[in-house]
Amino acid sequence: MKYISTRGQVSPTGFIDAILMGLADDGGLLVPKHIPQLSDDTLKQWQKLTYPELALEVFSLYVNNEIPRADLKKLVDDSYATFRHEDVTPVRRLDNGRYVLELFHGPTFAFKDVALQFLGNLYSYVSRKTNSIIHILGATSGDTGASAIEGVRGKEGIRICILHPHQKVSKVQELQMTTVNDANVLNLAVEGTFDDCQRIIKELFADVSFKHRYHLRAINSINIARILAQTVYYFYAYFQVANKEHADKISFSVPTGNFGDIFAGYLAQRMGLPIHKLILATNENNILARFVNEGVYQPGAFRGTYSPSMDIQVASNFERYLFYLYGEDADTVTSLMAQFKAEGRIVITGDVLKRVQADFSAYSVENEECLNTISAYYEKYSYLLDPHTACGAAASDKLAAEGEVTVVLSTAHPAKFDEAIRLRNISQTYPEQIQALFDKPQIQTVVGGSNEEIKKQLVTFFN
Ligand SMILES: *Cc1c(COP(=O)(O)O)cnc(C)c1O
């Protein structure tokens, strides 16, 4: 399998180069040259597989022979052995036709572990094969950082530095990052906002001599390996639910920020998984819901919400969808993205908008509605949703037809967002792994927001 850019200016590259490249060199995003098409027979065979077996089959289609199958199998097995549940991503039935896909059984209790456990092992594999050190630099509003650190801590050939806004992530998120004491991890707590952290990272990656000298690599959600890892649980959940319900019309509701998770669902559908509907749930930062419902892609004012991992105005994976929406036409994508840069918006009408609305339905969830949903599910099903998952549940309640089988993706364990849940006077007991964090010493360096100061920290750490 080769990978091409949504803007068409990168010569087709192999899987490993695509992973290392992150953002395509022409500013676009990498996508597979052809989407593998699954026959009914293959889908039938896949129904019997365990999660790691299924993941191996999916990755095999996209990796081809670049990684020998035995090596790939070990990477996959190691990545999912760290999950606390034997199904890796179990499906819970709440009610008639109402399911929750629990994606939070990995080391940091958030769905990002599904992709980042794998990406961490993959980076470590590449480092061994190429005999080079990989330096990972990233910014986080909370979940990605903890998950990326867990993915690579203690691994040879890799060093990771994560910037987070000082005291602006949830307490559990902060502890998950800063109680890690492996020598290959550096936590920089930046006096500023998440946007400041992202700006610094962007500027350091744009400093080409610095980037090349230290082989800087990214871990953000535009990495194609993350998308591929996330397609696996759509297949897995679909098979489990289809089996229980004897139904074939199954929809998924996805709490969405950067469009990575729901794009993975779209890709699974394009591969041949007969997903009925993809429901796109946003919080009050609803650029994507407005795009689906009105055809206008235009950032609004930033809103702080109870689901901070979805507080996103410009969705970094959106360009991948545009590419497929316009029949894999890189020229159209290039001109639309240029228009977005110049005018700050993209407007879609007519038949194209109809296609968008055939691919997705969308709903944006207000802050009160998010908390109401947490309360309602807690009372009705004795099931505690985290605020991100609650957005998915609210959207599915709004948009799924009566009796329609719907799977809500649960992207985080409620313990990670206790601050919001306590607002509804619901008290929870933390899982022991989270409780234990409160007794561990924290290791982090608090820094100001200047690039020079951060560069200095990095140079010391990398040398
Ligand atoms: C990252 C994240 C999301 C959003 O996922 P995208 O792939 O960015 O759409 C939703 N919920 C939680 C808990 C997350 O950490």
pLDDT at position 211, please? 86
Distance from the CA of 207 to the center of ligand 1, in angstroms?
A: 28
Kindly report, residue by residue over 68-101, the tens digit of the pLDDT.
Answer: 999 999 999 999 999 999 999 999 999 989 999 9
Pocket test residue of 29, 105, 111 for ligand 1, highest count of atoms within 8 A of CB: 111
pLDDT at position 319, please? 96
Q: Give the CA radius of gyration of the chain.
A: 21
Distance from the CA of 69 to the center of ligand 1, in angstroms?
A: 30
Cα 110 to Cα 307: distance, rounded to the nearest angstrom: 13
Domains and CATH numbers, the chain: 91-109+225-424 (3.40.50.1100)
> Residue 329 region, left (φ>0) first, then alpha (ψ -120 to 50), else beta?
beta
Of 112, 155, 168, 416, the active-site residue reads 112
> CA-CA-CA-CA torsion for 32, 107, 135, 258, nearest 10 degrees?
50
Distance from the CA of 323 to the center of ligand 1, in angstroms?
A: 22
Both structure tokens of 223: 């990495």
End-to-end, the C-alpha distance of the chain in Å comes to 36
Kindly report, residue by residue over 200-248, the tens digit of the pLDDT.
Answer: 988 888 888 888 888 899 888 789 999 999 999 999 999 999 998 887 7
Kindly report, residue by residue over 378-397, the tens digit of the pLDDT.
Answer: 999 999 999 999 999 999 99
Average pLDDT over residues 28-43: 97
Average pLDDT over residues 181-186: 96
| Percent of the chain surpassing pLDDT 70 | 100
Cα 144 to Cα 135: distance, rounded to the nearest angstrom: 16
- Picking from 108-112, 129-133, 358-362, which range would have the lowest pLDDT averaged per residue? 129-133
Cα 179 to Cα 181: distance, rounded to the nearest angstrom: 6
- Is-catalytic flag, 455? no
pLDDT at position 193, please? 85
Confidence band for 401, pLDDT divided at 50, 70 and 90: confident
Contact 209, 183 (CB under 8 A): no
Pocket test residue of 103, 150, 219, 310 for ligand 1, highest count of atoms within 8 A of CB: 310
pLDDT at position 47, please? 97
Pocket test residue of 411, 417, 419, 421 for ligand 1, highest count of atoms within 8 A of CB: 411
pLDDT at position 222, please? 87
Cα 78 to Cα 259: distance, rounded to the nearest angstrom: 27
Ligand 1 proximal residues by C-beta, below 6 Å:
110, 112, 143, 221, 255-261, 309-310, 388, 411-412
Residue 147 Cα distances to 115, 142, 153, 261, angstroms? 9, 9, 10, 15
Both structure tokens of 84: 């606390």
pLDDT at position 199, please? 84
Is the pTM here over 0.85, yes or no? Answer: yes
